[in-house]
Structure 1
Amino acid sequence: MTSRTQGYVFVAITMCIWGGFTITSRLNALWHISPWDITALRFSLAFCILMPILIIKKDTAFLWKKEPFILAMLGGVIYCLTSYSAFHYVPAAHAAIFLNGCIPLTTAIAAFFLFQQPFDRNTWISLVIMISAVVLMSALMYQETGVAFGFGDGLFFLSAIWWGIFTVLLKQWKLSAWHSMAGVAIWSAIIYIPIYLLFLPKHLDQASFSHLAIQTIFHGIFVVIIATLSYVEAIKRLGAFQTGSIVTLAPFIAAIIAVPLLNEPLSLAMLCGLVGMGIGALQPWRWLGRKDTLQVKLDQQKNEQ
């Protein structure tokens, strides 16, 4: 296969896993698996797989730097707890709108505050589209239910903020895919598991063993390890913008699949939100010019040093 074809294969793998994350995270709520439990199971399995490999390879020195620890707290522990919790309050479609749809926006805002990267024309267009979609959606939701936003929606948006900061820092620090993935998984386990065992509520007895096994394997291996590596490999072959635009579709597709699969509602308000946030996140008008403005800014800072 050519390098470009390989890139699309890696994109397909990433899309399946990212879409599966939306479906399985919603299933956690239906299967009575708490956010505290699935977070612990996810990082425990990843730790048991990755730590022996790092020891055998004698590749543990990078763990003692501040970068993997900070990334683990943002994109690991805090992100998982807020996003998993949100699925217990609202359907999967809300995740596509308030989490995945808002990640490009929160990433741009994080780049502005952390590295003084101003919003470019494309970001402003996305901002207008997203705000318009959210306003229309909230107005329709208020007419339908009397409530414009739910607690779960706020948790999803908070998760998007964590992931936006995580993405910008990851790009700035230029860690390899392996070190990024391993550092997040291992430090998340080291910090979170003791806190979970000593202080947090546990409800493992409320879920069946098969359900726990399915969720642990999928989130601990496929989401933490495989999706991270396949996403980075796709970026190497197709570029960051094209890869990001394609895989962003996965949660939106999953939200549609969740309607018949999980018997979830899809109102006119949700449909407007999905379409508007999907267009704002994908930025289809940029496909003729894919220059990564954040990367340009970082390169300029590097040359000035």
Structure 2
Amino acid sequence: MQSASANKAGGSSPLREVAIGTAWGLLVVLIWAVWVVSTRVGVKTSLRPIDIMLVRYLCASAVLVPLCLRRGMPPIAANWRATALLVAGAGAPFLFVSATGMKYAPASHIASVMIGSMPFFVAVLAVLVMRERLRRPQVIGFALLLAGLAIFGFFDSSDGIQGEWRGHALFLLAALMWAVYTIVLRRQGLGALHAAGVVNGWSLVLVLIVYAGVGHPDFATVQWRDVGYQAIAQTLSAVVGLYAYGESVRRLGASRASVLGALTPAAATMLAFIFLGERPSALTIAAIVLVTVGVMCASRKGAAQPKLQPMPGGNALSA
């Protein structure tokens, strides 16, 4: 992000940056909610998680890789270590873990447990890696967040899905992976388009290698309508969603951008009820409220913001 003097020179004010970053963040909320529901639909069809991944990264790479190359962007981030962390955190490994978890838990749990816990893991990494101290609003917010997650983990099994705990464990792992991506993205100062191109391009390479080993599905049983639906939804998430998230983080900072993500559980639950008929229980609604309020409290103005230093070859962005 530009310095204050540069902002004045360029006619860009901090308020304008916040407004633009907020708009990008709200778009991310909508796309994430659609992605949760569409992927949940996908894993309940004849498509396997690896099939959904192949559709996602083929379509996304066809758009992003040529665009990035045309603009002269290198195929990696500042170095291979940062590239590997970005791809693992938001690329094929992340999607495989989260999509596998979606076999065991309903959409309302997906959004709350996975997306709701992302800011918690971002803060934990900031404390462990950068020795940041948590302030009172963060402590209170994370206490509410953990209380909501505890309801999902120990009390709410009313949806009748066997092995929900497996899904919850995988969602927490996916949230940790995404937190790593967020921290690395912020420290690198990587542009949103460049980051999306790197993540999707190398994810396609990984998926093709794995796909060659596991073999293709029985195409006689594949509904091509499902493939087409996943192509649209996954490309929207991989291209527009990742770009919008990068812009939101760049303009607002990792912690401030996370407060908008708190709206995703409610949005995803509403879409799941409309399109999947997944009616949330009273405990689920209570947990969603706790998670949402917890994230908003932890990310409110005045909470500690991670002071991120650049990695070798990267540029730090101001919060």
Q: In which range does the TM-score fall when normalised by the shorter chain?
A: 0.7 to 0.9
Whole-Å Cα distance in 2 between the matches of residues 147 and 198 of structure 1?
Answer: 29
Backbone CA RMSD of aligned residues? 3.1
Superposed displacement of residue 250, structure 1 = 2.4
Whole-Å Cα distance in 2 between the matches of residues 76 and 213 of structure 1?
Answer: 21
1:217 and 2:232 equivalent?
Answer: yes
Whole-Å Cα distance in 1 between the matches of residues 232 and 162 of structure 2?
Answer: 37
Superposed displacement of residue 33, structure 1 = 2.1
What pairs up with 1:97-176 in 2 under 5 angstroms? Answer: 97-141=112-156, 150-176=165-191
Whole-Å Cα distance in 2 between the matches of residues 55 and 157 of structure 1?
Answer: 34
1:90 and 2:101 equivalent?
Answer: no
Deviation digits for residues 193-252 of structure 1 (CA, Å, limit 9, x no counterpart):
1221223563554331122112122212x1111122223334455555544312430232
Query: Structure 1 segments of 4 or more deviating over 6 A?
Result: 142-148
Superposed displacement of residue 91, structure 1 = 0.5
With over 3 angstroms needed to count, the CA separation of the structure-2 counterparts of 1:246 and 1:276, relative to structure 1, is same
> What runs of 5+ residues in structure 1 fail to find an aligned partner?
none
Aligned-residue sequence identity (percent) comes to 20
Contact map agreement 2:186 2:249 (CA 8 A) in 1: no
* Pairing partner for 2:309 from 298, 301, 304: 298
Whole-Å Cα distance in 2 between the matches of residues 136 and 57 of structure 1?
Answer: 48
Contact map agreement 2:49 2:96 (CA 8 A) in 1: yes
Contact map agreement 1:133 1:272 (CA 8 A) in 2: yes
Deviation digits for residues 36-65 of structure 1 (CA, Å, limit 9, x no counterpart):
111111112222222223333333354683
* Pairing partner for 1:289 from 302, 307, 315: 302
Deviation digits for residues 146-204 of structure 1 (CA, Å, limit 9, x no counterpart):
98952111111111111112211221222111221111111111122122122356355
Contact map agreement 1:36 1:201 (CA 8 A) in 2: no
Amino acid at match of 1:154: A
Amino acid at match of 1:225: V
What pairs up with 1:191-270 in 2 under 5 angstroms? Answer: 191-199=206-214, 202=217, 205-220=220-235, 222-236=236-250, 240-270=254-284
Aligned residues, how many? 297
With over 3 angstroms needed to count, the CA separation of the structure-2 counterparts of 1:5 and 1:205, relative to structure 1, is farther
TM-score by length of 2: 0.81
SS at match of 2:156: helix
* Pairing partner for 2:57 from 43, 51, 70: 43
**Higher normalized helix content (fraction of residues):** 1
TM-score by length of 1: 0.84
With over 3 angstroms needed to count, the CA separation of the structure-2 counterparts of 1:204 and 1:91, relative to structure 1, is farther
What pairs up with 1:16-95 in 2 under 5 angstroms? Answer: 16-60=30-74, 62=76, 65-66=79-80, 67-95=82-110
